[in-house]
Amino acid sequence: MRNLDLAPLYRATVGFDRLADVMDRALTADLAAPTYPPYNIEKTGDDNYRISVAVAGFSADDLSVELRDGAVIVSAKKATEDEDRNYLHRGIATRAFERKFTLADHVRVDGASHVDGMLHIDLVREIPEALKPRRIEIAKSAPKVEKLDA
């Protein structure tokens, strides 16, 4: 794997620390990162996104969605196991997990729902008015004419 030196980015920019940190984390991420539970990230509109996490076997009470330090953290812990059951095959994993999704600036959580074994987290990007593009009016003035004293 190649090492990418982000030092020039730190030297030549101001205020991009978070972007550089995200890039650094992505580039140094462990290739054997956990894949449980499976999830999708989709763009549902120009400024709308949805994270869908497969949480079969978990009830809404077993799940937690938290916003902390610019990230959505999804975690689950099964309250109690039914020890009276005798499984011949157990293919539905209900092990505890924590999954972190780092959000871009101005992205906020719009809501979360638990339907048919899927946890859906809806996100929306709201750019403040001050950051939206705007047209600057160019003032037009007549050239100044100076009077000469005779």
Run of H or E residues at 51: strand 48-54
Over residues 48-63, the mean pLDDT reads 93
Q: Which numeric CATH code is attached to 37-127?
A: 2.60.40.790
For the entire predicted model, the pTM comes to 0.70
Q: Give me the chain's average pLDDT, please.
A: 83
List where CATH 2.60.40.790 sits in the chain.
37-127
Residue 111 has pLDDT above 90, yes or no: yes
Query: Which H, E and C letters describe 97-113, residue by residue?
Result: EEEEEECCCCEEEEEEE
Q: Would the pLDDT of 120 be above 90?
A: yes
Please report which confidence band the pLDDT of residue 122 belongs to, taking 50, 70 and 90 as the band edges. very high
CB 45 within 8 A of CB 120: no
pLDDT, tens digit (0-9, with 9 covering 90-100), for 63-103:
999 999 889 999 999 877 667 888 888 888 788 999 999 89
